[in-house]
Amino acid sequence: QKEVEQDPGPLSVPEGAIVSLNCTYSNSAFQYFMWYRQYSRKGPELLMYTYSSGNKEDGRFTAQVDKSSKYISLFIRDSQPSDSATYLCAIGDYGGSQGNLIFGKGTKLSVKP
Amino acid sequence: DSGVTQTPKHLITATGQRVTLRCSPRSGDLSVYWYQQSLDQGLQFLIQYYNGEERAKGNILERFSAQQFPDLHSELNLSSLELGDSALYFCASTYASYGYTFGSGTRLTVV
């Protein structure tokens, strides 16, 4: 079983839709959960960062973590064409043996006008 | 501009050759991470340096090596290149948290 699993999509939605992106992970030692957005031919940029179970909101974006189920989600409300990108979940165990992030393979999102 | 500078942006080279990718981290960041991104494997962690010292190693091939210099810039050396090494190579930096800042990457094509 891979450490982080993410549905690669692609996902196509109309403008204004609510988008749900998800990842599952296998190691309960993971404590830090992030979502990155990557536009074509660009480097990933950090969108959301959380270390606790529950919801964290930032504008149109909500990150949700369920540690008991080892499941994380990113919700995008009122999606815009500018949200079209690949979204990567990233998970880490800061302070553990690996001081680095493990990334999902990314979900490609397309928001149609 | 993220503050992390990677050069060159594109590189085309032949099999068997050696190349060097360069990364200048964001000002003040002590950690540098190298990642390889391919279509089928996603972002794969290669190696981390912290203030000049190797801190963690991931799926880095023996043909690949890296170092971080006193001015904190880092270089990733890829040798005996194979077709399968064609990928995007990203450098990221951070000071002390998981808020990695990525550069724009170097696209390596091995022909």
B21-75, pLDDT tens digit by residue? 999 999 989 999 999 998 777 889 999 999 999 988 888 999 999 999 999 999 9
Yes or no: say if A93 and A100 are a contact pair by the CB < 8 Å rule.
no
pLDDT in the model for residue A79 = 97
pLDDT in the model for residue A102 = 87
Q: Which residues of A touch B7 (CB under 8 A)?
A: none
CB spacing of B98 vs A106 below 8 angstroms: no
Between B10 and B100, residue with greater pLDDT: B10
Yes or no: say if A21 and A106 are a contact pair by the CB < 8 Å rule.
no
What confidence tens digit (pLDDT) does each residue in A60-110 have? 999 999 999 999 999 999 999 999 999 999 998 765 434 578 899 999 999
Q: Which residues of A touch B103 (CB under 8 A)?
A: 43
Q: Starting from the edge strand earliest in sequence, which strands make up the sheet with B5-7, in order?
A: B5-7, B19-24, B74-78, B64-68
Interface test mutation site (partner B, options A100, A102, A107, max chain B beta carbons within 10 A):
A100
